[in-house]
Amino acid sequence: MGKLQYKKMKGSSNLRQRLVLATLSSTPLLIEDIRAEHTLPGLHPHEISFLRLLEKLCDDCSLIINETGTKLKYQPGTIMGGTHDLVHDCALTRSISYFLEPLLVLALFSKKPLTITLRGITNDSKDPSVDTFRSTTLQLLKRFGVPSEGLDLRIVSRGSAPLGGGEVILSIPIVHCLNAVNLTDAGMVKRIRGVAYSTRVSFQFDNSMIHSARGIFNRFIPDVYIFSDHKKGPAAGNSPGYGISLVAETNEGCYISADTAISYGRTEETGEIEEERKELMPPEEVGEQIASVLLGEIEQGGVVDSTHQGLLFILCALCPQDVSKVRVGKLSPYGIETLRHIRDFLGVKFVIKPDPSTETVILKCVGCGLKNLSRKAS
């Protein structure tokens, strides 16, 4: 009857979140001024790739992008999911995790369980690596009552920047609704696990990374085990690279992760002005650095690391109308943006309270009561 009321937003920031929340709350979205002033205006390849992915997963959604790509009109449909040979070639400007993060939330509320093959860069310094995704992000989902069967990420082959060539298979079950959580106790770190990988380089890289990281951890806890994953042949992708992903598991079942990946930078055509790292960081330093980052995250005292704050908040906001309580460390800028977007789209406002004794922040919210309506009645 009436005309569509688009929610208007500006700029390219947090595009994934906006689209995800718009889809879940079925709010039509209009984004303007996407890099309007930049030398390379409009949407970037990975963003377009994400939009294509969204189109692939949704039924009856409409996406209109103007010629320059600076304006985007999105009208959400129903998330379909499905298992029938869904394959998506992710753009090489960002890693696969860029696509995995929003996919995770969307797929929970789709019509059918999702199984999708994603191809591209598996490990990247900008996004959390797929290893972290597997070890930490999926674990976080379980806290919200997502069944563990059917929740899986399989790394078929790895691909480093800039040429990628990695492949992962993600499968996510569907839920009727999430459970509200009370995650205020981060607990104590009981073990540290990790994966060091290397593609198209000597396997010694793995060992030296592991060695240096262990060197740091040995002062804290003996239960440290870092797997080495050296890929060869086609499973190693198209470009050389190496990296490490560490995760600390606490006795309360919280997972805190840190990761990085080292590879040669991207070429100019992507538009990313990335300073070419001619000399890559040596593996020893990488191991040490990431171990330090992980300890830094542990020091923060949250139930999740700074990377996962956004996801945690979104999941809390999607819970039924019960109170969720979570404790995080310093709010990350991404987390803050997430909180704002949640307020805008779902109308859920968190009560944010600092806990001065531990320098953490406690957030509480009443979920928006989202239910998976598209799920079939059995």
Q: Tell me which residues in 173-232 interact with another protein (CB under 8 A).
A: 184-190, 216, 219-222
User: How near is the Cβ of 257 to another protein at its closest, in Å?
Assistant: 10
Nearer to another protein, 196 or 363 (CB): 363
Nearer to another protein, 196 or 361 (CB): 361
Our finding on whether 52 is near another protein (CB under 8 A) is no
Identified binder of another protein from the candidate list 20, 96, 101, 243, rule CB under 8 A: 101
Coil vs helix vs strand at 154 = strand
Nearer to another protein, 20 or 86 (CB): 20
Query: Which residues have CB under 8 Å from 334's CB, separation 6+?
Result: 14, 306, 307, 309, 310
Residue pair 252/185 in contact by the 8 Å Cβ criterion: yes
Site for another protein in 13-42 (CB under 8 A): 13-17, 26, 28, 33-35, 38
DSSP single-letter state for residue 172: E
CA angle 204, 208, 212 (to 5 degrees): 175
Identified binder of another protein from the candidate list 310, 319, 324, 328, rule CB under 8 A: 310
Q: H or E stretch including 370?
A: none
Q: Give the separation between CA 186 and CA 249, rounded to whole angstroms.
A: 10
Identified binder of another protein from the candidate list 160, 212, 289, 324, rule CB under 8 A: 289
Nearer to another protein, 87 or 221 (CB): 221
**CA distance from start to end of the chain:** 33
Query: Which residues have CB under 8 Å from 127's CB, separation 6+?
Result: 94, 95, 97, 98, 101
Both tokens of 313, joined, read: 């908040």
Nearer to another protein, 191 or 264 (CB): 191
- Considering only 126-134, 157-165, 203-211, 238-246, which stretch makes contact with another protein by CB under 8 A? 126-134
Coil vs helix vs strand at 343 = helix
Site for another protein in 318-347 (CB under 8 A): 321-323, 330-334, 336-337, 339-341, 343-344, 347
User: How near is the Cβ of 369 to another protein at its closest, in Å?
Assistant: 7
How many secondary structure helices (H) and strands (E) does the chain include? 9, 18
User: How near is the Cβ of 273 to another protein at its closest, in Å?
Assistant: 11
User: How near is the Cβ of 29 to another protein at its closest, in Å?
Assistant: 11
Q: Between 135 and 174, how does the x/- string for binding to another protein read (CB under 8 A)?
A: ----------------------------------------
Identified binder of another protein from the candidate list 39, 67, 233, 377, rule CB under 8 A: 377
Between helix 15-24 and helix 45-57 the angle, nearest 10°, is 20
Sign of the alpha-carbon dihedral angle for 370, 373, 375, 377: positive
Nearer to another protein, 147 or 369 (CB): 369
Identified binder of another protein from the candidate list 78, 117, 207, 228, rule CB under 8 A: 78
User: How near is the Cβ of 308 to another protein at its closest, in Å?
Assistant: 8
Q: b/e per residue, 179-208, with b = 16+ CB within 10 A?
A: ebbebeebeebeebbbbbbbbbbeeebbbb
Helix, strand, coil in percent for the chain, rounding step 5: 30, 30, 40
Identified binder of another protein from the candidate list 52, 55, 77, 282, rule CB under 8 A: 77
Q: Tokens 């992962």 label which residue?
A: 168
